Chain A
Amino acid sequence: MRHYLYLIAILFLMASCTTELPKEAVQTQEVPNVFPDNNGATLPPNIAPMNLRIDTSGEAFITHIHTKADADGIVVEGKETDIDLKQWRTLLQGAKGDTIYTTIFVKNNGTWTQYPPLKNPVAEEEVDPYISYRLIQPSYVDYEDIYICQRHMTDFEEKVIYDNRPFSVDAATGQCVNCHAYQDYNRKGRMQMHLRQNQGGTLIIDGQNRRKINLKTDSTLSAGVYPAWHPTMPLIAYSVNSTGQVFHTRDTQKVEVIDYGSDLILFDIPSNKVFDIDCDPDEYETFPAWNPDGNTLYFCAAHYEQQTDDIDNELDNCYDSLRYNLYARPYNTQTMKFGDKQTVLNAAALHKSVSLPRISPDGKYLLFTLGDYGQFHVWHHSSRLCLMHCDSIASDGNTPFTQIDDQQASYHSWSSNGRWIMFTSRRYDGNYTRLYFAYFDKEGKMHRPFMLPQRRPTYNDQLFRSYNVPEWMVEPVAPTKEELQNTARTDAIPAIYAGSALTHPMSKEKNRPAVDAVSGASQTRGNKIDY
């Protein structure tokens, strides 16, 4: 009996032990070396704990997270923090509009050193509760296991929405999955994603209704590729692309993803009909994006006139002079027709190239990436986030814009309240994209971004996958992984080609590479396949 009492006493003592701050510490002005380096980033008041790893050698480590109002705050021991979720939420909620301070103590040779506090302002506005992204190894043509995941932003819960492993038996029957997209932040449970190669097709999810569609028709270049859900109507604009990958022999960008042809189409979900939008063979249209009112479709396009019968060879040799401008077409929701094309930004005239326009939910800003050439900026070192005011769009293509970040960035999206920008970037190690979040204030200024927090701070360092296509969601994805995989196993319903969606249709004489009918995968060369 006495032994049990001792045991209870020891357990009680252990439970009541709390880490205490060092009573004496030598102050230093040196900024502590931590991973991830989120110092100065503005945080949302509902973000998961910002765990960190202290990259300074020492015998013992203490991290003190506090605010002015809560000087006691949270004290965590260890080189890698594992902040208690409850304590963090309490601290964060009390810090709205204030600043969180993270003070690090490192013990060496029996002496504690106190580093100057890392500062993180806390915004008033929350982030959307969910995000989704694709986790993929940044390979070039091989894909073995790809996951589309949903992450809860207020904690670390990550759920797999879809994984391709049951469909990737071998190289011949592999399956690529990409381009998941939602209508209106998944408020009504409307989602789409593409499956390529094995069991190819596009999954369209509308609440409990799930279908697999083959968007390739005899009259269009390929199946749908980059999607843009109309904000309110059951419509999705897609680019259709004949894409290939070619490899740099020396450049550390390593791979070039080139469209050897691309157009825009509109898919009307209820009627299962596909309409042409832009199909000029000399224009390489891609990356459509609706404005929040759904009456304008923005997109990128490069002009190139084919000189020979071998478009692959031509573009491989002039890939760095293929530059994309930003265009817009008005859309009449009554007649369901697009008006004339307008140049929003003539980037080619600046020897630059636009990709991925995204309009803020209030319709005031247009965010895009600007690189030196091409459209697949995820591989381009020169790619930067840029911003323009939608009310200052000039009809001559000379719309003013500003670069809002000084490091490589690619895929980006606005939170539903327009106060947070999420983007992917290879800035940490130059190869693996990580997710970053930046506060976008009411004055239209982007604040310093922070990396997606993880339960184990080294996770982002030890992960050998890239984050792709990050999208915000207000509601989680309803169907389970198994339900989506079951839908993926069904036969794809062929979409019906229904002519042009333009008020003034254009001619579409083409001479373009063949594209596989069901999967939408195009193979323009032996060493190039669809991504």
Chain B
Amino acid sequence: MSHEHASNTKRIWLVFGYLSLITTVEVILGIIKPESLEFTHFIGLNLLNWIFYILTLVKAYYIVWAFMHMEGEKSSLRWSVVSSVIFLVLYLLFILLTEGHYIYGVFKDSTIKWNF
């Protein structure tokens, strides 16, 4: 608001192009599911899922930075929003996914059959 009032339409359409392109790539990979990517593991995830997550984060970056106009905000606002969300989400994911994996192991190794 308090910033420049020049029109940004060119950048908006450019970002729309990026987002569409990334989504198209995701969909194509999701349909083909190349075996070389799907069955190659790298730090607990297969390469295909790594690609999906990275592309998702790139899309999220463009939406927040260009569409929500985070790039025009003061860095104090930027940091207080982005860093707290990233930290808390990583924390939550770490706890819940570790626990989920542990329970999977408990079910797998238990002497009682629970779902048959």
Chains A and B belong together in one complex: no
Q: Which residues of A contact B (CB under 8 A)?
A: none
Q: Which residues of B contact A (CB under 8 A)?
A: none
